[in-house]
Amino acid sequence: MTSDDLFSMQPLPVSEDSIVDSRLEELRRKIAHHDRLYYDQAKPEITDREYDALYRELVDLERANPGLITPESPSQRVGGRPQGAFAQVQHLVPMQSLDNTYSAEEIADFVERLQRLLPGEEIPMTIEPKVDGVAIALLYENGLLVRAATRGDGTSGDEVTRNIRTIEVIPAKLHGKIVPKVLEVRGEVYLPKETFARINAERDELGLPTFANPRNAAAGTLKQLDPNVVAERKLSAVFYGFGAIEPAAGDALPESMEKFFGRLKGWGLPVNPRHWTARDAGEVMDAIRELGETRRGFAFETDGAVIKADLISQHARLGSTSKAPRWAIAYKYEPEQAKTRLLNITVQVGRSGVLTPVAELEPVFVAGSTVARATLHNEEEIARKDLRIGDRVMVEKAGDVIPAVVGVLTAERDGSERPFRMPTHCPVCAAPVSRTDGEVAVRCANPSCSAQVRRRMEYFASRSAMDIAGLGEAVVSQLVDAKLLHDVADLYTLSADQLLPIERMGSKSVENLLAAIASSKEQPLWRLLASLGIPHVGLTAARTLASSFGTVDRLATASVGELCSVEEIGEIMATAIHDWFRDPGVITLLGKLRDAGVNFGERDAKGSAPAADGPLKGTTWVLTGTLSIPREEAAEIIRSRAGKVSGSVSAKTTYLLAGEDAGSKIDKAQKLGVKILNEEAFRNLIDRGE
């Protein structure tokens, strides 16, 4: 064959089946990739709408070419794989997902399909918020919670009972005299929006990857192997359906979803705060619009509405596909986004030295407020989104709370846009920055950087730490700018002569501030430990360490092994604490705080010897419900008498102190045989032990 022959050859024709097969393979690969990111890693890269577009194209192609459907296709299964870190359990009835729709026309098609499948029947419907959380199935037997599992692949999921038991709104025992013999109840675990905002702010501060939305945060929390971490994050839940159900003798299934919601509430299970009923497509859309106007008032993020045939007897006759029931559908709201311009990217420095890029935006109104700034988290996130200064961008609020840049309008670029580069030196103090291998965080290497000092001061003085009234952000900034504060120990050297020249610091405010600083010296040890920025040590760990070691000196000299022997302290945390106390800068700081007279545990909050051998020594308490005094005050009463306070009921719990409107902890305490005290009995016990 000559070269002329090669050039004269025509390409072989490509069959239409080959093109379809190739596209199906590509779609399945992409969907599997995004399923892994969403279900397994809680780190989605595309929006729900973009995912649904890929999935719809796959289903349409398979429907037109049924001979090309494979058992492994995403259209033939529900969701992500169960995770290997947890035991796998099989659902009594498969957990299906819902088909999605985005328009009034598709809602009308859904209602018409119901009527076509059940001709001549009235088909009332319920409409409820679609909670954007993690699907969960709880199994109750004779009213007792025996198992909790994630959706997994729809047939089996991760067994997460220990983690679910930390959620206060979920009862360990169903309320009421008549409870089902078997109830496999379905719902969503979610992270409240306010909690989501707090956790993300803390993770940003520490240079940790932030959660894209509350759903990802809830998923990441349920995958924690330590239930104490789960308890700290304060998850909540909503329930709305069932899989298997066997009524009690003499009882019957509820006739409708409307009545089932009432049953759930009576059993003590939390339900959606509101739902609607409808008889036709027009009324369904009216309910969807009303929900859209009110959904931001819910504690959870909701991305749509769920429409169900109300009569349970109709569900079986309407049936389901391999993936979704035919009697229910989800309507997805368009995410509320706004177009604006990225004017600049500035860099903030946190108390741990982490540099965080921030988008400076042309102000735009979105989801109820004007947005002018949004965190961009880190340089890798900026590169992944291909953000450039001067870009036209789309902005929305993650969890209806946190402003986020979600996309770039690359088609509107004119060539003037500039790429962002993380600075090689701190933008505040000009010290070199560094990045540890394996981390995305870039840090300022200078612990004396004024930005770090400001943030450390603010945290040290905050209500959850040393609680120094009058030492807010503005005052801290003035004191740092005046070179009066270089580290937290400098607070205890301030004098009236130094403070009076500061702008807006009158004699009375100076007197009050100095008194608050002096008073903070007597704070209990756990507050000091919580305020120092020890790696991985939050409020709960600070209390545990204070209770276990008693003084800063004992904690500072503890080995990694001794730290690991403390309940709730793992090896990673133990190593970080051990290394922190051996840092020369930390040793110097602790010496200055000791010289200033700060309580290192040798005395309690009132300045007297700690009650290491008090009347409650050896007892562990859990508090629940509303008391006549703040819970923290009751907890301090217990600790001052050498008792230990825990956040969750376990076999090690001695007493449960229960106030009004107590939650599910009472059920668990009863099941474990833990003694339950009301406030009057608690006071009597305390008085007898004085």
Give the per-residue pLDDT at 440: 79
Q: What is the pLDDT of residues 256-286, one digit of tens each?
A: 999 999 999 999 999 999 999 999 999 999 9
CA 553 – CA 524 distance, rounded (Å): 15
First-to-last C-alpha distance (Å) of the chain: 106
Distance CA 60, CA 313 (A): 31
Q: Residue 421 has what pLDDT?
A: 92
305, β-bridge pairs: 129, 331
Q: Residue 44's pLDDT is what?
A: 67
DSSP for 405-466 reads EEEE-GGG--S--EE----SB-TTT--BEE--TT---EEES-TT-HHHHHHHHHHHHSTTTT
| DSSP code, position 14 | P
620-689: CATH topology is: Rossmann fold (3.40.50)
> Of the listed 30, 43, 130, 508, which one is catalytic?
130
Kind plus residue range of the DSSP H or E element containing 157 = strand 156-158
Per-residue pLDDT, 82: 47
Q: What is the DSSP letter of 173?
A: B
Catalytic status, residue 130: yes
Q: Domain boundaries in the chain?
A: 17-76, 88-192+217-332, 338-434, 620-689
Would you say 617 and 640 are in contact if contact means Cβ atoms under 8 Å apart? no
Q: Which CATH architecture describes the domain 17-76? A: Orthogonal Bundle (1.10)
The structure's pTM equals 0.59
Separation of alpha carbons 439 and 455, rounded Å: 22
d(CA 38, CA 543): 35
Instruction: Determine the pLDDT at residue 247.
Output: 93
Predicted local confidence at residue 544, as pLDDT: 80
Do β-strands 655-658 and 675-677 pair in parallel, antiparallel, or remain unpaired? Answer: parallel
- Report the candidate in 137, 96, 92, 91 with the shortest Cα–Cα distance to residue 246: 92
What per-residue confidence (pLDDT) applies to 31? 80
What integer pLDDT is reported at residue 2 of this predicted model?
41
Q: What would the pLDDT profile of 559-615 be if each residue is shown by its tens digit?
A: 999 998 886 687 888 898 999 999 898 999 999 999 999 999 876 544 334 455 678
Residues 6+ apart with CB under 8 A from 501: none
- Spans of the chain, pLDDT less than 70: 1-17, 36, 38-44, 47-49, 71-72, 75-85, 205-207, 228, 368, 399-401, 567-568, 603-613, 630, 632, 647, 661-664, 688-690
Distance in angstroms (rounded) separating the CA atoms of residues 380 and 573:
26
Q: Quick check: helix, strand or coil at residue 648?
A: coil
CATH architecture of 338-434: Beta Barrel (2.40)
- CATH for 88-192+217-332 (3.40.50.1820, 3.40.50.920, 3.40.640.10, 3.30.470.30): 3.30.470.30
